[in-house]
Copies of this chain bind each other. A is one copy, B any other.
Amino acid sequence: MPDTSQNEQKSEQPRRRQARGERRIAQLLSAAASVFCSTGYTAASTNAIAREAGVSPGTLYQFFPNKEAIAIELGDRLMHEMRDTYGEALAPVDPATPLEEAVGAAVDRFIDFNCAHPVFFALMHGPDVPGRMAEEHDALHATLLSRIEGLLSSYLTDAPPAELNRTAHMVLGIYKAGLELVLAHEGAEREAFVAELKNALIRYLRPLAEARGLTTTPAP
């Protein structure tokens, strides 16, 4: 007997979505961002997310199979927006660009993004991420590291790979530490911490760049 009405497509089920549904999804993701941001992933309850979005728990599960899928989708959308808006922030740069300029531009772009989307920091910094979230976390971390290595290789032309990797780790660590300080302050103080972060990175990197005989701008 030909079963035309029910075709088992376990991998892809093109569920017809109405405009109302898309709106709900955006609403739920926004609510989830808010809750994740204030309590972290594990401590955030799906009921709290639904309440924040003004819907019932059942409605939430109409659009997401489980709690993790919410964070995954949120992370994917943030990554996508980050690529769209700041995709070139860490692209290999003209070696003639002064180190100060390259660091300053990269820091400004990433700080802007993280300030506009504090959830990103919350999701990527918390050690309380289960299963697939951890994979995404590691993937982003690896991506950032290799991008930083690419940037650094313009300035540290003949450093051994192990040293380059260590320096990239340290640069990312310093950035994360600075980001935490920046997010913890506002207004003029925030700006001061941004400048301090740039200083820390530039002072850390300049001796390495100078040792390779590359041009850096002297302090004006």
How many Å from the CB of A180 to the closest CB on chain B? 7
A108 at the interface (CB under 8 A from B): no
25 A-B residue pairs with CB within 8 Å: A42-B42, A42-B43, A43-B128, A125-B127, A126-B127, A126-B128, A127-B128, A128-B128, A162-B192, A166-B192, A166-B193, A167-B196, A169-B181, A170-B193, A170-B196, A170-B197, A173-B178, A174-B174, A174-B177, A174-B200, A177-B177, A199-B204, A200-B200, A203-B204, A203-B207
Cα–Cα, bound, A203→B174 (Å): 13
Instruction: Count A-side interface residues using an 8 Å CB cutoff.
Output: 29
Residues of chain B within 8 A (CB-CB) of A181 are 169-170, 173
A40 at the interface (CB under 8 A from B): yes
Flag A147-185 by CB within 8 Å of B: 1 or 0 each. 000000000000000100011011001101110110000
Residues of chain B within 8 A (CB-CB) of A180 are 173
How many Å from the CB of A119 to the closest CB on chain B? 14
Number of copies: 2
Residues of chain B within 8 A (CB-CB) of A167 are 196
Known A176-B177, A200-B204; further 4 A-B contacts with Cβ < 8 A: A42-B42, A128-B128, A170-B193, A173-B180
Cα–Cα, bound, A126→B41 (Å): 13
Instruction: Among A128, A181, A192, find the residue whose CB has the most chain B CB atoms closer than 10 A.
Output: A128
Cα–Cα, bound, A166→B197 (Å): 10
The 10 closest A-B pairs by CB, nearest first: A173-B177, A177-B177, A203-B203, A200-B204, A203-B204, A170-B196, A169-B181, A166-B196, A128-B128, A174-B174
Q: Which of B125, B170, B196, B199 contacts A178 (CB 8 A)?
A: B170
